[in-house]
Chains A and B, each alone.
Chain A
Amino acid sequence: MIVGLGDALRKLLEQTVLELPSDVLNAIRRACEEYSHSERVASICKAIEENLSIAKNQRAPLCQDTGLIEVFIRFGRWLDPIPDIIDELTKIVASMTKEGLFRPNAVDPLRNVNTGNNLGPYTPFIHMEYDPNLTSDIYVCVYLAGGGCSALGRAEVSPPSLGIEALSQLVVDTISRLGVNACPPLFIGIGIGGTAEMASILSKKALLRRVGVHNLDPLAAEIEKRILDAINRLPIGFQGLGEGPTALWVSLEYGSRHPATFAIAISVSCWALRRRCLRISKSGSIEILDHI
């Protein structure tokens, strides 16, 4: 096993549970500043800041819902450490659950029994992706999917002629009906592809991208901007109380569609978007990144 891999993975998970990534924190602070004239927003922002400092100083999860753990691994020509990474991560998740840093959230859906250690079938959920440009690096990203905002996840497959209308409808319906319950202001991931699961995975992957950075495709970037503007006309605001922005960022990822399908999906994160990545290099260096 790579020297220091276990320690690095633990640090990755601990930091994800205890501290917000810098891009997420900056987006929240900007919104707080912009709406500091509102007494209610100011008091919510004060609670958020106090919470973040207590979480960091006391080593307490910033949110008790530490989610179901999702892992996105991106690899290239160098594959050897992948089994160690997954085995090690699984062990660390179980021990951090015992320490109270993860809440036991894995429930057997057929028996309604909590497994108690955040492990179970397909849990943690692991997604792997091959990137031919990577020669000697592996990226391991973790995303903590809390229940309140995961409840907004939707995917559907529409006929191509109705694709963009269906996408508009999916986004506006989901956020206007359920947005108040997902701890707004929100971060929104959109996926477009050929099948429901392709679109779903892409919508979640979109949330790994740095907040403030648009899709490199200018057309996709324009869609992101239009959706963000639209959502911010919905009077949801901080905690659903009607004041301040409803969403802080929208990211879109797309893959090919089939001639007969236009699959769309939405993944929503609360203001406490908790994700982080590890870059592991063949040279032996391991680095924690706030985003990809």
Chain B
Amino acid sequence: MAVHHLRTPISDDDVRKLSVGDIVYVSGLVVTARDAAHRRVVEQGTPPPIDMKGLVLYHAGPCVKRTESGWLVLSVGPTTSARMDRYERDFVARTGVKLIVGKGSMGRTTAEAARELCFAVTLFVGGCGALAASKIRRVVDVHWLDLGVPEALWVLEVENFGPLIVTIDASGRSLWSEIMENLSRASREVLNDLKKGLSVVLGWSRR
């Protein structure tokens, strides 16, 4: 398990060094985008308001406060990446982001896209919004606030944002496909045992 320190703009060579299970800390520019921003780019074909080539895409929507000197992000942990699965190939193709940060699983289409378009998917520990916010040096900008605070594109300058655990690498290997396979195998037996166990407990056993 290697530990990598990356700085944006991230190159294809940087991404190819990352393997599933590795830890990454990233510095530079991170852009948040979740469901509505993905739909705007992919379905409506609206070009992103900033050049995202080589930057980090963060599946997140922050808690923010507006102060006299600008926006303050209080908390910004990851949201569930699976919701972005259906848009991700096109979103990456149109924006050129090189590293995705989120939480939970992403599917086969995204893993295949990671190989073709050379990017990696990572996980930041879900629920750790205050820790993530502590890695922000400044809020550079915000776009598409009409989508609401959680869904807007927040451009954040971060320092040593991590630990990020690589779950899909640019070879197309996915930790998630391995985990989901194990799960579906285990779940059949677990279900049968639970049905039997509960029937016995409640005296519902069939003769």
- A interface vs B, CB < 8 Å? 39-40, 43-44, 47-48, 50-52, 54-55, 58, 60-66, 98-105, 107, 112-114, 116, 147-148, 151, 164-165, 167-169, 171-173, 176, 180-183, 219, 222-223, 226-227, 230-231, 233-236, 239-242, 270-272
Determine whether the beta carbon of A240 is less than 8 Å from that of B201: no
Q: Which residues of chain B are near A58, meaning CB under 8 Å?
A: 74, 130, 134
A242 touches B104 (CB 8 A): no
A66 and B104 form a contact (CB under 8 A): no
- Contact status A227-B23, CB under 8 Å: no
17 contacts between A and B (CB under 8 A): A40-B165, A47-B125, A51-B128, A51-B130, A54-B134, A61-B63, A64-B129, A65-B79, A100-B75, A148-B103, A151-B80, A168-B191, A176-B190, A181-B105, A182-B80, A219-B202, A234-B187
Give chain A nearest CB distance to B165 CB in angstroms: 7
Nearest-neighbour CB distance to chain B for A243, whole angstroms, equals 10
Q: Are B129 and A241 in contact (CB under 8 A)?
A: no
Given contacts A54-B131, A168-B191, contact A240 B104 (CB under 8 A): yes
B1 and A64 contacting across the interface, CB-CB below 8 Å = no
Does chain A have a CB within 8 A of B77? yes
**Contact between B63 and A66, CB atoms less than 8 A apart:** yes
Q: Give the distance in Å from the alpha carbon of A60 to the alpha carbon of B136 in the complex.
A: 13
**CB neighbours of B74 from chain A (8 A):** 58, 60-61, 64, 100-101
Query: Within 8 Å of chain A (Cβ to Cβ): is B54?
Result: no
Add 14 more A-B contacts to A51-B128, A51-B129, A151-B80 (CB < 8 A). Answer: A43-B165, A50-B131, A55-B130, A61-B74, A64-B61, A64-B129, A103-B63, A103-B64, A104-B150, A147-B80, A165-B195, A240-B104, A241-B123, A242-B179
Cβ-neighbour of A167 out of B61, B72, B165, B198 (below 8 A): B198
Name the CB-closest residue of B to A115: B148
Most-contacted residue by chain A among B1, B80, B133 (CB, 10 A):
B80
Whether the pair A240, B186 counts as a contact (CB closer than 8 A) is: no
Task: Across the A-B interface, give the 4 residue pairs with the lowest CB-CB distance, nearest first.
Answer: A114-B148, A100-B65, A181-B104, A64-B129
A169/B182 in contact, CB under 8 A: no
In the assembled complex, the Cα of A230 lies from the Cα of B194 at a distance in Å of: 6
Beta-carbon contacts of B96-110 to A below 8 Å, as 1s and 0s? Answer: 000000011100000
A80 to B86, CA, bound (A): 51
Q: Are B126 and A270 in contact (CB under 8 A)?
A: yes
Say if the beta carbon of B116 comes within 8 Å of chain A. no
The answer for the CA separation of A48 and B126 in the assembled complex, in Å, is 9
Within 8 A of A (CB), among B117-137: 123, 125-134
Residue B44 is within 8 A (CB to CB) of chain A in the complex: no
List, in ascending order, chain A residues with CB within 8 A of B197's CB: 226, 230
The answer to whether residues A164 and B75 also contact, given A39-B1, A233-B186 and a CB cut-off of 8 A, is no
B62 in the interface, Cβ–Cβ < 8 Å? Answer: yes
Write out the residue numbers on chain A whose beta carbons fall within 8 Å of the beta carbon of B103.
148, 181, 183, 239
Q: Mark B178-207, 1 if CB is under 8 A from A, else 0.
A: 011011101101110111011101101000
**B125 near A44: Cβ-Cβ < 8 Å:** yes
Contact partners of A169 in chain B: CB under 8 A? 191, 195
Q: Whole-angstrom distance between the alpha carbons of A59 and B126 in the complex?
A: 19
Q: Do residues B204 and A164 form an inter-chain contact, with CB atoms below 8 A?
A: yes
* B179 contacts A180, C-beta separation under 8 Å: yes
Of chain A, the residue at the smallest CB distance from B163 is A43
Given A54-B134, A180-B179, A240-B179, decide whether A62 and B129 contact each other with a Cβ distance below 8 A.
Answer: yes
Quick check: A181 and B80 within 8 Å, CB to CB? yes
In contact, B127 and A63 (Cβ under 8 angstroms) = yes
Interface residues of B in 170-184 (CB under 8 A from A): 175-176, 179-180, 182-184
Q: In the complex, what residues of A have CB within 8 A of residue B163's CB? A: 43, 47
- For residue B76, CB closer than 8 A to chain A, the reply is yes
Contact A63 B148 (CB under 8 A): no
Scoring B23, B36, B79, B176 by chain A CB atoms within 10 A of each residue's CB, the highest score goes to: B79
Instruction: Quote the shortest CB–CB distance from A105 to chain B (angstroms).
Output: 7
User: With contacts A64-B61, A104-B150 known, is A172 near B190, CB below 8 A?
Assistant: yes
